């Protein structure tokens, strides 16, 4: 190699050595923690990293002071405590709350990894009829207090949820354009007086329902869920329907205290329970 070539090689190596190196994205190393301060005490929550849309939205609203001076406006002992409605701020006594928000919804992040055990943090939302995609409220949330269930209770919930799933499939089938003739026959006036025709129509619909139902797994609690629901407790009938994005790591006694206050016919506490929320640590 000539002296000139050696010089060029040295210059090239020096340039490469000082070029910026782009490091691969690192996973979150710290949990995002927030603390809710109330007149009953403080509740510390950990936000899950596998529901990033809800985590980041909650952190942004908290940093902006969105929740400060809002109320826990709906509490049901043995079930949950709910807050996050901006309309609750300075709301007069007796007014029903629960319709306010930041003006947007959040795409659902419902995952089997999380279930409604005692102490989880989840997003409130409108019902399935108005909200079939199960979009979460932009700000309203609830913390599960729950209760302890027996194995037989969980068996009954499984049966009920499977029945609801079949009913929804039934409704969806009759809504389809290709099933218009079947729908018309099912709802024809006086069909119940002709049991033979009615049973034939019902059998045709049930055949379609069974076929579609077989393609999706029936609602069933895991062994872990059963163990926790029969020891720690929770609200198992909500599983798979709402986005869970965190959990209480300190202050469940405060949740219990809030859940136990006296309420009106709308489940609003008779004495206001205002809150402030602050970020302790986060991954941003």
pLDDT of residue 186: 79
pLDDT digits (tens, 9 = 90+) for 109-162: 999 999 999 999 999 999 988 999 999 999 999 999 999 999 999 999 999 999
Question: Residue 117 has what DSSP assignment?
Answer: B
User: How is the chain split into domains, by residue range?
Assistant: 32-148+232-281, 152-213
- So what CATH class is 32-148+232-281? mainly beta
Q: Are 142 and 122 in contact (CB under 8 A)?
A: yes
Residues 7-36 have pLDDT tens digits of: 444 444 444 444 443 333 334 457 899 999
Q: Both tokens of residue 161?
A: 């949820």
The whole model's pTM is what?
0.80
**Beta-carbon count within 10 A of 252 CB:** 15
DSSP letters spanning 172-234: HHHHSGGGHHHHHHHT-TTGGG-HHHHHHHHHHHHHHHHHHHTTSPPP---HHHHHHHTTT-B
CA–CA distance, 261 with 15 (Å, rounded to integer): 69
Q: Which helix (H) or strand (E) holds 70?
A: strand 70-76
CB burial class (10 A; 0-12, 13-18, 19+) of residue 64? exposed
Angle at 132 between CA 129 and CA 136, to 5 degrees: 105
């Amino acid at each position: 190699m000539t002296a000139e070539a050696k010089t060029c090689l040295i210059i090239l190596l020096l340039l490469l050595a000082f070029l910026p190196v782009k490091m691969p994205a690192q996973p979150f190393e710290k949990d995002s923690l927030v603390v809710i301060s109330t007149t009953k005490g403080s509740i510390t929550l950990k936000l899950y990293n596998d529901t990033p849309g809800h985590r980041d939205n909650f952190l942004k609203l908290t940093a902006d002071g969105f929740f400060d001076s809002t109320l826990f406006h709906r509490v049901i002992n043995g079930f949950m405590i709910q807050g996050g409605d901006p309309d609750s701020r300075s709301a007069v006594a007796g007014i029903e709350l629960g319709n306010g928000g930041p003006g947007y919804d959040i795409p659902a992040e419902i995952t089997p990894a999380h279930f409604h055990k005692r102490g989880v943090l989840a997003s409130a939302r409108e019902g399935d009829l108005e909200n079939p995609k199960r979009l979460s409220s932009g700000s309203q949330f609830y913390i599960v207090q729950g209760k302890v269930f027996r194995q037989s209770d969980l068996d009954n919930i499984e049966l009920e949820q499977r029945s609801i799933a079949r009913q929804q499939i039934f409704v969806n089938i009759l809504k389809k354009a290709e099933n218009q003739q079947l729908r018309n026959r099912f709802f024809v006036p006086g069909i119940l007086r002709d049991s033979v025709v009615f049973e034939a129509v019902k059998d045709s619909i049930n055949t379609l329902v069974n076929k579609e139902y077989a393609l999706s797994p029936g609602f069933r609690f895991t062994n872990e869920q059963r163990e926790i629901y029969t020891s720690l407790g929770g609200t198992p009938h909500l599983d798979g329907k709402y986005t869970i994005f965190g959990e209480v790591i300190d202050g469940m006694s405060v949740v219990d205290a809030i859940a136990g206050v006296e309420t009106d016919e709308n489940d609003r506490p008779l004495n206001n329970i205002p809150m402030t929320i602050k970020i302790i640590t986060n991954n941003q």
